[in-house]
Amino acid sequence: MKKPIIAIAHQTITDGDAIGNDIMGMYNTLIDEGYNVGLLSEYSADSLKKYQMNSASTNNFFETPDSILIYHHSIYWEFGERILEKCKGKIIFKFHNITPTRFFKDFSSLHYEKCLQGIEQTKRLINAYKNCPWWGDSSFNSFLLQQIGLKSDHITTVPPFHRLDALEKIEPSYKIIDDLIRNNNNNVLFVGRVAPNKGHIHLINIIKTYKENYDSNIHLWVLGPIDHDQLQLYFNQLSVLIKKYGLEKNISFIDKKPETDIKAYYLGCDEFLCMSEHEGFCVPVIEAQQFMLPVVTYGGAALRETAGINQIIMDSFDYPFAASALFTIFTDEKVRNFCKKHGRINVDSRFSSEKIKNKFLSEFARTVDGNQQ
């Protein structure tokens, strides 16, 4: 029996971000299974353009009734609705969550409008395609779909593909690791874009509290792209707060870096601290656990679910507690090793590449076999 043509669609497909990694994980898995697969997007990284469907392939895909479209939804995409309307085959939605508008209200009218339009578009898509399978990155995302009005029997949770195996094979920047080890600081890491939902103000307050209660030998490394065009006001607010607290020598923002550097920070730092207020999954948490970096995290949105059991997870933004957790991990070998051990168990038992691949193929097979439409 001839295998169906598959298209994987998202507004933007780029390398190095969580959605791009999920899309390419799906792509490579389906190629290995012998499917004819192509990508559909409005914007694509140059390195990924070779995977895009050309005009002839796209037309053939849309005209073929047994084709399958895997549509990734994370932001408003006007052209995406036209793609869905043209598709004559089966459709699967992968829901990555949309950041609530409140986070951008005071900083970016563009981001505010895009998120608002994206939330409204989610409602339209659920209405129009309520009988299609919808996959959430996490149970948190899946529950949000139910809240919007999708029936639970059309929802399942499929964790995102990631690049942990690839990161394991990459040679890190040994100079960065050496510098971190030799700086005599408690080196704290956060990985994620500089955006208002990521909780940077909480991170800054925790470092301030640590200095006030323990010592000044602490440094927070914030790795992630800085959107100077749209979110400069937010970055300025953070810079003012850092200066007000006298933390200029304790906090560094590092714009997007290659994976060799990112891996070095995971290996060279002492703790991973996440105070994000809204996450649909948060891949950096499991990246930290993969490299045996103890995690201290707020437990809201999907973070508690992703971090798993036997980790230091906070119910609220308790700065003294978070500071004490960082100090305890840094000074108590037993606590440090406990966090490392159980973090790695969480990744291996729930989010290994093999487990995600098997879950994805199992749910995909249900659609191919016609059990969901």
Give the pLDDT confidence of 181-238 residue by residue, as tens digits: 999 999 999 999 999 999 999 999 999 999 999 999 999 999 999 999 999 999 999 9
Per-residue CA distances from 118 to 77, 107, 210 (Å): 7, 18, 39
Q: What whole-number distance in Å separates Cα of residue 282 and Cα of residue 273? A: 12
Residue pLDDT, tens place only, 49-84: 999 999 888 999 999 999 999 999 999 999 999 999
pLDDT of residue 373: 44
Q: What whole-number distance in Å separates Cα of residue 175 and Cα of residue 363? A: 43
Residues in the chain, total: 373
pLDDT of residue 274: 98
Split at pLDDT 50, 70, 90, the class of 1 is low
pLDDT at residue 371 is higher than 80: no
pLDDT of residue 256: 82
SS3 content of the chain, % helix, strand, coil (to 5): 50, 15, 30
pLDDT at residue 372 is higher than 70: no
For the chain, the domains span 5-162+353-368, 165-350
Split at pLDDT 50, 70, 90, the class of 16 is confident
Residue partners of 293: CB distance under 8 A and separation at least 6 = 189, 266, 267, 269, 270, 271, 272, 340, 343
Confirm whether 5-162+353-368 and 165-350 share one CATH topology.
yes
- Is 96 in a helix, a strand, or coil? coil
Residue partners of 309: CB distance under 8 A and separation at least 6 = 342, 346
Give the whole-number percent of the chain exceeding pLDDT 70: 99
Split at pLDDT 50, 70, 90, the class of 368 is confident
CA dihedral 268, 269, 271, 277 (to 10 degrees): -120
pLDDT at residue 15 is higher than 90: no
Phi-psi domain of 150 (left: phi exceeds 0; alpha: psi -120 through 50; beta: other): beta
Split at pLDDT 50, 70, 90, the class of 370 is low
Angle (nearest 5°) at CA 139 between 104 and 67: 90
- Mean pLDDT computed over 166-176: 97
Residue pLDDT, tens place only, 294-337: 999 999 999 999 999 999 999 999 999 999 999 999 999 999 99
Split at pLDDT 50, 70, 90, the class of 369 is confident
Residue pLDDT, tens place only, 99-127: 999 999 999 999 999 999 999 999 999 99
Q: Are 327 and 214 in contact (CB under 8 A)?
A: yes
Fold of 165-350: Rossmann fold (3.40.50)
Average pLDDT value for the chain: 96
pLDDT at residue 257 is higher than 60: yes
Q: What whole-number distance in Å separates Cα of residue 369 and Cα of residue 373? A: 10
Q: What whole-number distance in Å separates Cα of residue 146 and Cα of residue 273? A: 30
* Superfamily of structural domain 5-162+353-368: Glycogen Phosphorylase B; (3.40.50.2000)
- Mean pLDDT computed over 253-281: 96
Q: What whole-number distance in Å separates Cα of residue 201 and Cα of residue 217? A: 20
pLDDT of residue 2: 81
Give the whole-number percent of the chain exceeding pLDDT 90: 94
Q: Is the dihedral of CA 59, 63, 64, 65 positive or negative?
A: positive
Q: Which of 75-84, 348-357, 361-370 has the lowest mean pLDDT?
A: 361-370
Q: What whole-number distance in Å separates Cα of residue 318 and Cα of residue 350? A: 28
Note the pTM of the prediction, 2 decimals: 0.95
